Amino acid sequence: MYTLYGFNGSGSAAVEAALVWAGLPHRIVEAASWEPGPGFEELKQVNPLGQIPTLVGDDGSVLTESAAILIHLGLVHPASGLLPSDAAARAQAIRGLVYIAANCYATIGIIDFPERWCDKPDDAVRAQMNKGSRTRLHALWDMFADTFPATPFLGGTEPSALDLLACVVSKWSGSRAHLRDARPAFSELMTRIEQHPRLKPVFDRHWPPA
């Protein structure tokens, strides 16, 4: 039994989707730094940084960082298809997961928390940082879409860990709206992932349909 600490609409959605896809028993503890309460206090006991997602195994081992969690689940549960079985394809999937974490995720952090990067930014500085970071983020997604082709999914014939992380992280900071115009085929892929019958309940819970 895994324990996943996360919150609706956060990066924990990708890990929850992976657990569901792999058929792995788990419980979810709602926890986030912006929602103080028992769940967050419990999270800090296993991850003092208070970051989500955090995944705890039944042996008490603690995993953090979305890409690392997804890679671990794919390696430990190879039959899940979260990572390709072919070594060359698996290497590219890991490359893609780290690309999203190191580039897209990091840029979103600047958009959401400019005060972490600039001491007491005023409104003008915030607006400048937001505009520049969004432009950079959208260019990063363009490069990702051009680098990692879908056949018909990023991981092959079925959704994989790379599909799940891309689908979640691209929902933030206006990336989907940008991709609909700039990379329509990739935008359509993201929709297919979140509408997949096995994954739709997870995405609908995190982002309820209008």
Q: How far apart are alpha carbons 175 and 83 in whole angstroms?
A: 25
Q: How far apart are alpha carbons 179 and 184 in whole angstroms?
A: 6
Say whether domain 2-80 belongs to CATH 2.40.30.10: no
Q: How far apart are alpha carbons 104 and 166 in whole angstroms?
A: 9
Fold of 87-206: Glutathione S-transferase Yfyf (Class Pi); Chain A, domain 2 (1.20.1050)
**The pLDDT of residue 112:** 87
Where do runs of H (alpha helix) occur along the chain?
12-22, 38-46, 66-76, 87-99, 106-112, 123-147, 161-169, 175-182, 184-194, 200-206
Contact partners, residue 169, CB within 8 Å, separation at least 6: 11, 14, 100, 104, 105, 108, 175
**The pLDDT of residue 29:** 97
Please state which of the ranges 105-119, 126-140, 186-200 shows the lowest mean pLDDT: 105-119
Work out the average pLDDT over 14-26.
98
Output the six-digit token pair for 145.
């879409």
pTM of the model: 0.95
Work out the average pLDDT over 108-114.
89
Q: How far apart are alpha carbons 9 and 35 in whole angstroms?
A: 13
How far, CA to CA in Å, does 139 sit from each of 100, 145, 155, 188?
12, 10, 22, 18
Instruction: State what percent of residues in the chain have pLDDT above 90.
Output: 89
Phi, psi of 177 (to 5 degrees): -60, -40
**The pLDDT of residue 61:** 96
**The pLDDT of residue 172:** 96
Task: Give 41-73 pLDDT, tens digit per residue.
Answer: 999 999 999 999 999 998 999 999 999 999 999
Please state which of the ranges 5-14, 18-27, 33-42, 82-91 shows the lowest mean pLDDT: 33-42
Which helix or strand (DSSP H or E) is residue 3 part of? strand 2-6
Output the six-digit token pair for 170.
């691209």
Where do you find CATH 1.20.1050.10 in the chain? 87-206
Instruction: State what percent of residues in the chain have pLDDT above 70.
Output: 100
Where do you find CATH 3.40.30.10 in the chain? 2-80
Q: How far apart are alpha carbons 118 and 73 in whole angstroms?
A: 36
Place of tokens 């003092």: 48
**The pLDDT of residue 113:** 86
Q: How far apart are alpha carbons 42 and 99 in whole angstroms?
A: 30
Task: Check pLDDT > 90 for residue 36.
Answer: no
CA atoms within 13 A on the CB side of 115: 3
Task: Check pLDDT > 90 for residue 116.
Answer: no
